[in-house]
Amino acid sequence: QNPKTSAIVKQLVAEGNVGELQKYFGSRMEFGTAGLRAAMGAGISHMNDLTIIQTTQGLCRYLEKNFSHLKKRGVVIGFDARAHLSSGGSSKRFARLAANTFISQGVPVYLFSDITPTPFVPYTVTHLKLCAGIMVTASHNPKQDNGYKVYWENGAQIISPHDKGISQAIEKNQEPWPQAWDDKLIDSSPLLHDPYATVNKEYFKDIQKQCFHRNINKETNLKFVHTSVHGVGHKFVQLAFKAFDLSPPFAVPEQKDPDPEFPTVKYPNPEEGKGVLTLSFALAEKDGAKIILANDPDADRLAVAEKQESGEWKVFSGNELGALLGWWIFTCWKNHNRGTCAIKDVYMLSSTVSSKILRAIALKEGFHFEETLTGFKWMGNRAKQLMDQGKAVLFAFEEAIGYMCCPAVLDKDGVSAAVITAEMASFLATRNLSLSQQLKAVYDEYGFHITKASYFICHDPKVIQQLFDNLRNFDGKNTYPKSCGRFKVSGIRDLTTGYDSSQPDQKAILPTSKSSQMITFTFANGGVATMRTSGTEPKIKYYSELCAPPGNSDVEQLKKELDELVNALEKHFFQPEKNNLQRKTE
């Protein structure tokens, strides 16, 4: 019933454009553990009013089956500022249609009245003890995309078997229910609640438990620049600074207000390097700020840059900031919370493709470190399990600039990470230390961990499949590579098939998934490299790391060795020319 998408389809039919119609209606968007992520537009392969109604009807039926008290507890729905003029789709409209679906079945809905950061949805699920949460966002994807992310009652993103259960329920509930299109009905419903004011108050109260140096914060001369990259983060990072008694950061004026066109950047993703930070650098130079904090558009990720003595800007990688935050959060715990629990009950987590620096810190300091599969859904769920056993999970991170610094949110949170980074930098400044100098001190103490990650773009699933099949049948059937150029392979873990050469029974310990590709190679020189497909983008990613024991300070030699390993990986395992892969360009 959306006149815009309806008109698009009618036009294609009139033109007899079978090719485009096939694209729109050939296959339905797949609902996975990341929910939905696709371009906005007409047809069942895109995000639009109809596919949102169908998805929510399926989710509603699945929740009814799993929670006898769904009608008492309800769900929360949040949205970002994305909008798509030509199809009439927007995050806010999708959120209202989803709310309407639940309310029509007598389920209370806590619908945010305005845009919020993604972490506010898992926070609300936990804080209000709800059955589930939905966030309508495509995070840092290109502007035409949108997404639908689902959280379970434990406050973490859904994992299997819920994705399959919801997917099957969507298949069975495709015809819109009566009044499904009329979202105005919710405005007069007693089942509609707005959690905006409560959550804004409670969230900023909760993150203050991670504020340990209020006096330093009040007096610091350190200046910060913040950009929300045309997304939702501006207001919330300002409030977080206020909660920590820090002077507000300078906001990049051209990027501080939400704008679904993302006019000043090619990709609204702070992970993509310095291009996204050009305006931030200019403002920092003008205002004499030393540190830049950049959120992605839904404010669940954080990139940090610091001006060096040389006048150059250093953009920290996700692994480097993970090392700093891990060191800082453990140090704060040690100095302030010692009495609350024994060190044997303290945990930190990171994903298997992230740096193992936390493992090195944990080994030396005596707390626990665990790795999970890639993605915060795994870390959030594992953190909840540990917390339910009375353990303290201080910190979790992934190299894709995602950080969970505060146990009140069981997902990555760029708002709390930004303000905790600002407090850490302010504290270090009182010791005349920069973030870069402290990072070197962390590596000096716990051993250098040099990492390098990148990706190739490939739009053809057959080519991707072939590339990974080749690696599994490298020297004849069912044989993996024994070397990569001059680098000897000493171990293989394949989380697609469940094979791990280092285990006595050759079975991998981490869960395996046949639907995604992921192979990790360990090399005789101590290097580790993982190749995997992305769940949300047409990318084949790789991650590599060389670790040295404390005391090995020849960093340049380590970097050179890792560069050579990565070049060999690209040449022999990716074969970009042969496979027609497009390189990441800054």
Cα-atom radius of gyration of the chain, to the nearest Å?
Answer: 24
Asked if 131 and 63 touch (Cβ cutoff 8 Å), the reply is yes
Distance CA 267, CA 256 (A): 16
Copy the structure tokens of residue 304. 């940090």
- Categorise residue 256: left if φ over 0, alpha if ψ from -120 to 50, beta otherwise: alpha
432-447 burial, b at 16+ Cβ within 10 Å, e below that, comes to eebbbebbeebbeebb
Tokens 């840059």 sit on residue: 305
- Beta-strand runs (E) in 178-271: 192-193, 224-227, 250-251
CB-side exposure of 499: number of CA atoms within 13 Å?
Answer: 14
Alpha carbon separation from 9 to 2, 17, 41, 248, 423 (Å, rounded): 11, 10, 10, 48, 53
Alpha carbon separation from 387 to 340, 343, 366, 384, 503 (Å, rounded): 14, 14, 18, 5, 29
Cβ count within 10 A of residue 311:
7
CB-side exposure of 50: number of CA atoms within 13 Å?
Answer: 19
Give the active site residue among 90, 139, 280, 350: 139
Copy the structure tokens of residue 497. 């098939």
Is 139 annotated in the active site? yes
Burial class (CB in 10 A: 0-12, 13-18, 19+), 48: buried
Distance CA 32, CA 30 (A): 6
Q: What are phi and psi of 201, to 5 degrees?
A: -70, -50
Residues with catalytic function: 139
